[in-house]
Structure 1
């Protein structure tokens, strides 16, 4: 979207209010944000988000970190055959597996997680 000609107007948002006049975009009878033809989707589609993949994690004491040298191996708390977490702005959205594409790492989405979608939070970076 290069200009604001496709941006939703206030009249478009009229159906997105609850009985108290507050915005309620999650109403079941309101427009769907998941519909790629909706004005809301086009409005949000160009917003950049950070996608990250968590291979695993571990808690270490500071002295253990200070003792790391070249060649040290840190064992992560995830089994090698487990799916990896795919996060968008810090919120788990899917599970996947590592693939290689032209010599680069990639991730194949194997399962989309729907339970966290409603509780998504915004990550603010300075």
Structure 2
């Protein structure tokens, strides 16, 4: 039994890669700050931005995880998420990538009020008005 008990801590390839590259970036920026080297500061900042982009890309490729706990057989960090192509509910990264999740049961059960708008509405007729100057 681990120190955290039997829980899904969300260790994924996307998480480990992003954390490693971000840690390297902060270390490079810290060395640059201590030695007064501005190129090292910029390199460290670029590595941190690269870490975020890399983790996001890996998440979208299925190497991340959706919010919330996963089944116990998917707790290993090497397990690929097969639902990532459709997008995860309430996931900012998936929404930024343009992935929309199917309507939830709550949205599907909500009754529609009022008539549906026509598919191709015709513009209202305009009457010719004379311009006055």
State if a TM-score over 0.5 links the two structures. Answer: no
Greater radius of gyration (CA): 2
User: Higher helix share goes to which structure?
Assistant: 2
- Give the TM-score band, short-chain normalised: under 0.3
Higher relative contact order (CA 8 A, sep 6+): 2
TM-score for the superposition, normalised by structure 1: 0.24
Higher strand share: 1
